[in-house]
């Protein structure tokens, strides 16, 4: 069987090595001829870490789409519209599609599934969420029997690496980001990671599958991590918590709630020990209970493994039916079903402002713990609803008060 590969970056290189260089169990022992016969790249002359015969390389998508021998197209490019169009065109020509492109799956899941069904091909995207963690396959299996009402996860390696290092080394955010960039754990433009777009796309994919309704990235409330300081980390650790960047969605009746934000976890929580580039995903099924899946959330080999795993389904003729159906009508309930005690740090130099901060918090929470320490006030509130706490924050921010806050989860 012949396969076309779109993209030869990190993941594409890993996929090429497993298939054409016969790395791994299956390809090393199989007599079934599977080969990537065409690879679309932007620049044919670029120096590469993997040895690909010149005649395999092309810059023209037509060379792949018009090749009748190519039965599967693997899309491991990072853009959106062009990649989406390549996938749609491939399916319309009867080719199975496998992708690691979370932006395209998140934005166009409904059309991609519809096109796959109409053309009787597979559309598989295990590598789009959680790197090597087999979460998409597991979710499909769990959904055969269970209703899933809640998803939680640490889904971004860059931000988890930054938060782990801030905790372990006592570094400030900016300093840690630079180190992460030097080490290749953060991109030159880190916006998608540190502002939550990467995480919310993954949460969008998992939530859409689980709740049966296409929830897009933009439907998810998100808040970044760059306000976190080493003073926050110190105080949070002293209180016995760990700060993590959490994706969380819930379904109640016909309303869904979804958020991506920094939160505080007890050191007794399994997720509190998920560090550096590792990811974890928790799924709550009505019959099976809670399941958690942990593994490498990124990286060449782990992600390539997920892509090739999808190819195995096509080879084995499993998953021919597209079981996921997005036929529910749900409403977006925002964040008002999330609630908990809150940690808040506010910076101030004068007593009048301090009094204003404390008064404002008192309007929302009765019992609270307050610590003053060098031009900073640290507060832990009583239980408050997330949407109400946002009002409090807006009020403080309107006075130009510099602050950071996070809900305490466990």
Binding site for a second copy (CB under 8 A): 18, 23-27, 132-134, 137-138, 141-147, 267-270, 272-274, 285-296, 299, 301-302, 304-306, 308-309, 312, 316, 318-319, 321
For residues 140 and 370, which CB has a smaller minimum distance to a second copy in the complex?
A: 140
For residues 60 and 286, which CB has a smaller minimum distance to a second copy in the complex?
A: 286
CB 109 within 8 A of CB 97: no
Query: Any known ligand binding at 112?
Result: no
Q: How far is the CB of 137 from a second copy (least distance, A)?
A: 7
For residues 9 and 299, which CB has a smaller minimum distance to a second copy in the complex?
A: 299
Q: How far is the CB of 98 from a second copy (least distance, A)?
A: 14
Q: How far is the CB of 189 from a second copy (least distance, A)?
A: 27
For residues 320 and 336, which CB has a smaller minimum distance to a second copy in the complex?
A: 320
For residues 308 and 393, which CB has a smaller minimum distance to a second copy in the complex?
A: 308
Query: Any known ligand binding at 46?
Result: no
For residues 54 and 287, which CB has a smaller minimum distance to a second copy in the complex?
A: 287
> Which stretches does DSSP call E strand in 215-341?
221-222, 241-252, 255-266, 278-285, 289-296, 331-332, 339-340
Torsion region of 94: left, alpha or beta (phi above 0 gives left; psi -120 to 50 gives alpha): left
Query: Any known ligand binding at 102?
Result: yes
Query: Any known ligand binding at 97?
Result: no
Q: Which residues, in sequence order, are CB contacts of 128 under 8 Å at separation 6+?
A: 99, 100, 101, 102, 105, 106, 136, 202, 205
Q: Which residues, in sequence order, are CB contacts of 39 under 8 Å at separation 6+?
A: 4, 5, 8, 12, 16, 52, 56, 57, 58
Transcribe 391-409 into DSSP letters: HHHHHHHHTT--EEEEEE-
CB 194 within 8 A of CB 260: no
Q: What angle do CA 107, 108, 112 make, to 5 degrees?
A: 155
Query: Any known ligand binding at 6?
Result: yes
**Measured distance CA(40)–CA(60) in Å, rounded:** 7
CB 128 within 8 A of CB 11: no
Q: How far is the CB of 238 from a second copy (least distance, A)?
A: 16
> Which stretches does DSSP call E strand in 10-144?
35-40, 57-58, 70-75, 96-99, 123-124
Give Dmax over CA atoms of the chain in angstroms: 78
Q: How far is the CB of 296 from a second copy (least distance, A)?
A: 5
State the catalytic residue, choosing from 152, 165, 202, 244. Answer: 202
- 202 catalytic residue (yes or no): yes
Q: How far is the CB of 76 from a second copy (least distance, A)?
A: 16
Query: Any known ligand binding at 299?
Result: no
Radius of gyration of the chain (CA): 23
Q: Which residues, in sequence order, are CB contacts of 103 under 8 Å at separation 6+?
A: 78, 79, 80, 83, 201, 217
On the 0-12 / 13-18 / 19+ scale of CB atoms within 10 A, 118 is exposed
Query: Any known ligand binding at 222?
Result: no
CB 261 within 8 A of CB 222: yes
Query: Any known ligand binding at 10?
Result: yes
Residues in binding site: 6-13, 102, 187
Residues in binding site for NADP(+): 6-13
Q: Which residues are catalytic?
A: 202
Residues in binding site for L-homoserine: 187
Residues in binding site for NADPH: 102
């Amino acid at each position: 069987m012949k396969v076309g590969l779109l993209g030869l970056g990190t993941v594409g290189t890993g996929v090429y090595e497993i298939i054409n260089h016969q790395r791994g169990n299956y390809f090393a022992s199989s007599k079934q001829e599977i080969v990537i016969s065409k690879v679309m790249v932007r620049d044919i002359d670029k120096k590469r870490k993997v040895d690909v015969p010149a005649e395999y390389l092309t810059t023209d998508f037509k060379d792949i789409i018009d090749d009748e021998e190519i039965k599967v197209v693997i899309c491991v490019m990072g853009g959106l519209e062009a990649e989406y169009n390549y996938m749609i065109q491939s399916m319309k020509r009867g080719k199975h599609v496998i992708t690691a492109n979370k932006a395209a799956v998140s934005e166009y899941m409904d059309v991609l599934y519809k096109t796959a069904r109409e053309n009787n091909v597979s559309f598989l995207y295990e590598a789009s969420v959680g790197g090597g963690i087999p979460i998409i396959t597991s979710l499909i299996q769990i959904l055969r029997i269970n209703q899933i009402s809640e998803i939680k996860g640490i889904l971004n390696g860059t931000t988890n690496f930054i938060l782990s290092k801030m905790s372990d080394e006592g570094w400030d955010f900016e300093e840690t980001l630079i180190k992460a960039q030097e080490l290749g754990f953060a991109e030159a433009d880190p916006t998608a990671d540190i502002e939550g777009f990467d995480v919310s796309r993954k949460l969008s994919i998992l939530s859409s599958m689980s709740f049966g309704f296409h929830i897009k990235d933009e439907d998810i409330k998100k808040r970044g991590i760059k306000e976190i300081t080493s003073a926050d980390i110190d105080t949070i650790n002293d209180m016995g918590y760990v700060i993590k960047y959490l994706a969380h969605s819930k379904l109640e009746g016909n309303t869904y709630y979804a958020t991506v934000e920094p939160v505080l976890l007890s050191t007794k929580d399994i997720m509190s020990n998920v560090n550096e580039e590792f990811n974890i995903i928790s799924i709550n099924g009505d019959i099976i209970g809670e399941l958690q899946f942990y593994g490498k959330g990124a990286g060449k080999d782990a992600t390539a493994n997920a892509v090739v795993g999808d190819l195995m389904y096509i080879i084995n003729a499993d998953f021919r039916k597209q079981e996921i159906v997005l036929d529910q009508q749900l409403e977006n309930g925002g964040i008002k079903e999330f609630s908990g005690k809150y940690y808040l740090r506010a910076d101030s130099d004068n007593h009048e402002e301090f009094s204003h901060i404390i008064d404002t918090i008192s309007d929302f929470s009765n019992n609270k713990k307050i610590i003053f320490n060098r031009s900073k006030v640290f507060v832990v509130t009583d239980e408050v609803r997330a949407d109400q706490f946002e009002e409090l924050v807006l009020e403080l921010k309107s006075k130009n008060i510099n602050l950071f806050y996070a809900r305490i989860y466990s």
